[in-house]
Amino acid sequence: MSKWNCTIDPKDSGLSIKEILRRDFSFSSRMMTKFKQNNCIKLNGEPVKLYIIPKPGDELDIELPDEKSSFPPENIPIIPVFEDGDLLIIDKPAGFVVHPTKGHPAHTIANGLARYIIDTGQNFKIRFINRLDMDTSGLLVIAKSAHCQEEISRQMKNGQVVKKYIAVVNGVVKDDSGAVDAPIGRPDPGSIARSVTEGGHQSTTFYEVLKRYDKGFSLLELRLKTGRTHQIRVHMSYIGHPVAGDSLYGGENVLLIERQALHAFYISFYHPITGKFTEVSADLPKDIKRLIAKIE
């Protein structure tokens, strides 16, 4: 069960419970409605209406009913890099789809999380805040409540969430840094491939060259302004530097690596409950490290 609590401060004098909750926790209207419907809010241990004006020293508690996901648990590797009562951030291995789809109904990260929840004695509904392609590794954020999901999603829309990736790309990138601002669409509904296309969704990717290799590769740090499907892969291919190992967008090289050399290594945001600025990072996986060793 997700829980929040606070002690009413003298500065809160004259404010209703609803006003305090909106100010301190940024709960959405939908979440406030859920609180009322489920009698989730208690003042000094007793259920209370949101219009009540509490006194300094009163204890305010909010408890959400337990929710569960229905994914069958499977022994899929789950590697936590950050966890508290509100969020779980894992380092997703390459080769796994995030959640079940028609083409991948099982053996997904969601199935692994269902097992992880059981093994750790927790009870929360799995709510993915971001997505990663099957063969992209790195940081995947899971909210343990609807409020946390809504709050970080709001931050994403407002540009407050920073996501950074590391990629090895084909070719020597000339400029030390730059941006690819080109619309991305799906020209063939029967194919998963995206492309830069007129009428597509506005998409911007920033890049910085970390290292150039004489063997014809570059190591890049990339940051997304938007979050379109396959965005980095499409944009890098568009400028003539497809991600190494990316067979869908022209970077295939099975002698070096068997998947796209793309890793989500960093994310920052403001914690949805504490408001604290939070940064999380993940080391490069072994296969990308081996690739770098081969091209150095």
How far is it, in rounded angstroms, from Cα 245 to Cα 237? Answer: 12
Do 160 and 269 meet the contact criterion of CB atoms below 8 Å apart?
yes
Q: Report how far residue 70's alpha carbon sits from residue 64's, in angstroms, rounded to the nearest whole number.
A: 19
User: How many other C-beta atoms can be found within 10 angstroms of the C-beta atom of residue 184?
Assistant: 21
The two structure tokens encoding residue 268: 């920052």
Compute, in degrees rounded to 10, the torsion defined by CA atoms 177, 183, 187, 192: 50
156 φ, ψ (degrees, to nearest 5): -60, -45
Q: How far apart are CA 215 and CA 116, in angstroms?
A: 42
Cβ within 8 Å of residue 110, ≥6 positions away:
69, 71, 98, 99, 100, 126, 128
Token pair belonging to 275: 């408001």
Told to judge if 133 belongs to the known catalytic residues of this protein, a careful annotator would answer: yes
Cβ atoms of residues 216 and 172 within 8 Å: yes
Residue of 74, 95, 85, 86 whose CA lies nearest to 138: 95
| Residue 212 DSSP code | E
Choosing from 133, 135, 246, 287, which is the catalytic residue?
133
Residues tagged active-site: 133
